[in-house]
Structure 1
Amino acid sequence: MRYDKGHKDATRQRIIDVASRQFREQGVAAVGLAGIMADAGLTNGAFYAHFDSKEDLVREVLSHAGFRNKLKAAESGAGLQSAIRGYLSASHRDNPGGGCPTSALVAEIARHPRATRDAFTNKVADVVELIAGLLPPGSEAEQRGKAIAIYGLMVGTLQLARAVNDRKLSSEILESGADQAVALVGQGSDARGGAGEAAPDTSPSTR
């Protein structure tokens, strides 16, 4: 049976969506293609009509998912402070399958082939650039250095909060990390969002 291009694109995106959730919940190494295709409602053989290999799919997941949408919303007025607190929220901690792949997959990606690490590197560089653009005015070097520190603090804080099995400590880690990341932005406010802005407890968009 022949399908139009729109159907093929939708099927490809469905595979990416399922794989993205499974990779973040279970880790790339623990997820098999059979499980991805079964959850997508497709046969194993259909996979190779869309991707060359599992590694090819991992790269697609990395390029499609991330923290970028929250930062794009911050550009249009929601505020970097709000985006930080949303990232370091209990709902994001408790929903790795619907959250940022960087915090879920960073340790694994370090062991993947160069092409996959290149895709990941490009994604991280994109997020750093977006954060830098939301910071108060300063030199390019200052803004870039601060953006890297903020993003690194956010990712590491979320990983640590997920790893500990003491709920109270986990919440303290999230709160302290968010406070320190917001402080790095500058005087508790940011260029787009304003000081003291309440942050919604929502997990970041992944597409």
Structure 2
Amino acid sequence: MGTSQHQKAQSRAAIITAASRLFRERGVEAVSVAQIMDAAGMTHGGFPRHFANKQELVNEALASAADEQRVSNGTSSGDFETFANAYLTRQHRDHPETGCVFAALGGEISRAPAETRHVLSERIQRQVEAFGDDPDMQAAALGRWSTLIGAMVLARLVEPEDLSDQIIAAARKFVGLPD
């Protein structure tokens, strides 16, 4: 790959990383292309060299966020306990910009175009398959994962903080994690 192609690939990756972070922090609709490009250290005018439109970037950024979480939290290996221990924490609650794309944007993405929902549906299917190929095992993992996502959404929206902490603690207990 030539230097210009390498630089273009690096720039594209920086845009995806910035978009992924900003979308999870503020929501897809609340973030402009100009804000994303600024966060990536580039000018708005360079955007068309990398993406046809914002929707293409949304799809790639959300896929990247979902893939990043699978690797960073151990879910690619199917280790649910490791995943849940990392997921049900104050750190995750307080930093949606680096956390689960489903908990951060699930409500918004449920109203997104079909192609965006498809991108995340594929990631959900991969995750379910990573938890094992036994249908009962997959159903249990999917139910527990749904509990984690729902708990994180609730923990982020309630006040006061002690109620948020109670939600996280209750979810940890419900899925069988130690205190």
Aligned to 1:60: 60
Matched, 1:71 2:65: no
Paired residue for 1:167? 161
Given that 2:76 and 2:127 are in contact with CA atoms closer than 8 Å, whether structure 1 keeps it comes out as no
Displacement of 1:73 after TM fit? 6.8
Pick from 133, 143, 149: which aligns with 1:149? 143
- Extract unaligned runs of 5+ from structure 1: 134-138, 189-195, 199-207
How far apart, CA to CA, are the structure 2 residues paired with 1:173 and 1:86? Answer: 15
Indicate yes or no: 2:40 matched with 1:40: yes
| Whole-angstrom distance in 2 between the partners of 1:106 and 1:116 | 11
Higher relative contact order (CA 8 A, sep 6+): 1
TM-score with structure 2 setting the length: 0.90
**What is residue 20 of structure 1 aligned with on the other side?**
20
Residues 144 and 73 of structure 1: is their aligned pair in 2 closer, same or farther, counting only changes over 3 Å?
closer
Residue in structure 2 matched with residue 90 of structure 1 by the alignment: 90
Report how far residue 98 of structure 1 moved: 1.1
Give the TM-score taking structure 1 as reference length.
0.79
Question: How many Å apart are 1:72 and its aligned residue?
Answer: 4.7
- Residue in structure 1 matched with residue 29 of structure 2 by the alignment: 29
Within the alignment, does 1:176 sit opposite 2:173 as a pair? no
Contact 1:74 1:83 in 2 (8 A): no
CA distance in 1, matches of 2:49, 2:84: 39
What's the secondary structure of 1:65's corresponding residue?
helix
State how far apart, in whole Å, the 1-side matches of 2:75 and 2:149 are: 18
Within 2, Cα distance between the matches of 1:72 and 1:86?
10
Kept in 2: contact 1:129–1:147 (CA 8 A)? no
Deviation for aligned residue 1:21: 0.9
Higher helix share: 2
Residue of structure 1 equivalent to 2:122: 122
- Which amino acid in structure 2 is aligned with residue 21 of structure 1? R
Percent identity over the alignment? 34
